Chain A
């Protein structure tokens, strides 16, 4: 009862129908629960079935039948002997609704981007669950429709520059303003009966240093205010210090590096940051140049751990090739030795891959659809340099514009950003496990672009 055998690629000990339809009991049920707790494949299958059946088939809309149609059908269906004995209908049938219960078909926009629509798709949540996808950049979450309260314009008050001593009574008076009686019942938002609370903001307030701040203070706090009033001597007040949070840990490095030589204006902070950034960039460039020159090559025969390290270096080198377009002989040699799985396309040039879609909710395989602009399909070479990488090379095609964020699944760890090597572009798929690759192409039809479909099956 609990087993199913139609799928050979995965664990099929659990029959999803038996679980979903409550056909298990006793020891079978306990065993199934225990297995589902441990087996991810079975759990995914059960979830797939549940989503398919409960969310889709179970909620198929029904066409309404009016009472007149029902009476007509009753007269046609039931023999006279039963109808005449029954007499007239002893209950009322609700009339058919003017608007049918069948929801109006979704009028999609002219399918420029088919999966982008404001209509809530029932599959979206499951796809997010499976691919653990973060929301796309161009589909921001809509803001919650909270109406902003209407504030009356504040009275124009001449800006006063008050000394620090004068600010204290203002702050002390704030609770009295806040404690003013408000209407007991919440008034509707358009009627503002009570006076609005006014919060005084003094931008010239003296910065208050905390205890841990080892900034050398020229004078104690009470004497700082007269210095501000006099203002002939520049006060060493850090411009970037935050009055609200009263701390600024980023300045500590600067303080320690400068030591006693801290001058009143803190301009070296920005300069130091720029210098550090330039230094880091120089380091990266130096490392790239050294690697490309073959100076950082690791010995080949070390161990299995070293072999994996070499693989990761190979991957990052592929990604870094965009920095220095001159491909090294080693990289090209490794690319050329990778086994070619498929060569597809019509050799059209000048196109661009603009989108990658993870295309299926079936846990048995992961589908990646590469959408391409252009007049046709470029030559596409799918290679598998090792068990955990699949590279798709698009000849004479720009691939740098395709966003790859958040594409992950049972089979795919991530998709690396497209790397442009001259006219050719390469997109590398990082695999979570060894897969069997199948691929095919689809022409541009309707609102769909030219497509390359790569299916990654569990091997």
Chain B
């Protein structure tokens, strides 16, 4: 009886932590994915899948920790990469669309399409785009960013330098 009495609050504490983490991070991850794949309509499905993947992985964790931001962003990045990968005839299945209430609003969709910075970001390679968005838009720390993109922190500076310089050149080219 004592054990049951002790374990029950631990499970609910994890659930509360997951819930809190989800509600605080979901809009940010959703916007990140929308900018990463340049498609706000397909972002909801990828974001939900990323959260689902991380929440499923919590089963293997012994302690009561909730959703880790870096894990969620890592899953979202990998799912986005797989969505953007060129399709072959034998890999035709599409990701399931998720329709959320009142999302995306038409203004948001239009703004994403007409944003010059977004167009410059879209012209970047996927890894460079992800790195810039995670560092400058999501504002992850270097350690979290290294965890997400799987690059050593001391190499991140040069990788970010190259990506940012490339973004600046593209932006200057297309801004007219």
Contacts and interface: CB of A to CB of B under 8 A. Distances in A.
B15 A15 contact: no
Contacts of A82: 14-15, 18-19, 55, 58
A68 interface: yes
B160 A362 contact: no
Contacts of B176: 114, 359, 369, 448
Nearest to A369: B176
Question: Chain B's interface: helix, strand, loop or mixed, by majority?
Answer: helix
B110 to A, nearest CB: 6
B112 to A, nearest CB: 8
B151 interface: no
Contacts of A70: 23, 26-27
Interface in A97-146: 100, 102-105, 114, 123
> How many interface residues does chain A have, given as a range?
35 or more
Contacts of A96: 102-103, 105
Nearest to A90: B16
A286 interface: no
A83 B15 contact: yes
Given A57-B136, A68-B102, A102-B111, A76 B52 contact: yes
Contact of A53 (B16, B20, B136): B136
B15 A86 contact: yes
Interface stretch (A59-67, A165-173, A191-199, A304-312): A59-67
A91 interface: yes
Interface string B20-44: 1011001110110011000010001
B18 A6 contact: no
Given A4-B161, A21-B142, A69 B117 contact: no
Given A60-B118, A63-B103, A78 B137 contact: no
A405 interface: no
Contacts of B18: 78, 82, 86
Given A62-B28, A78-B55, A16 B172 contact: no
B160 A76 contact: no
A68 B22 CA distance: 14
Contact of A52 (B12, B49, B112, B171): B171
Contacts of A424: none
A73 B108 contact: no
Contacts of A7: 165
Contacts of B110: 105
Nearest to A69: B100
A374 B136 CA distance: 44
B150 interface: no
B123 interface: no
A232 interface: no
A420 to B, nearest CB: 27
Contact of A77 (B51, B115, B158): B51
B47 A73 contact: yes
Contact of B35 (A60, A66, A74): A60
A23 interface: yes
A23 B145 CA distance: 14
Nearest to A93: B23
B2 interface: no
Interface string A4-45: 101100000001111001010000000000000000000000
Contacts of A104: 107, 111
A6 B165 contact: yes
A98 to B, nearest CB: 9
A73 B48 contact: yes
B154 A65 contact: no
Given A73-B47, A77-B22, A79-B55, A360 B172 contact: yes
Contact of A62 (B16, B19, B31, B44): B31
A58 interface: yes
Contacts of B161: 4, 6, 15-18
Contact of B157 (A6, A15, A68, A105): A15
Contact of A78 (B19, B167, B168, B171): B19
B114 interface: yes
A69 B111 contact: no
A63 B165 contact: no
A70 B15 CA distance: 16
B136 A91 contact: no
Contacts of B98: 73, 76
Contacts of A361: 172
B35 to A, nearest CB: 7
A169 B142 CA distance: 80
A49 interface: yes
24 contacts: A6-B165, A16-B164, A17-B158, A17-B164, A48-B168, A49-B168, A52-B167, A57-B121, A63-B104, A65-B30, A68-B101, A69-B100, A73-B100, A74-B19, A78-B18, A79-B55, A82-B15, A82-B18, A85-B14, A86-B12, A89-B23, A102-B105, A105-B110, A105-B114
Interface of A: 1, 4, 6-7, 15-18, 21, 23, 48-49, 52-54, 56-58, 60-66, 68-70, 72-74, 76-79, 82-83, 85-87, 89-91, 93, 96, 100, 102-105, 114, 123, 359-362, 367, 369, 448
The 8 closest A-B pairs by CB, nearest first: A86-B15, A77-B51, A63-B108, A69-B100, A85-B15, A57-B136, A68-B101, A17-B160
Given A96-B102, A104-B111, 5 more contacts: A62-B27, A73-B51, A73-B98, A73-B100, A87-B12
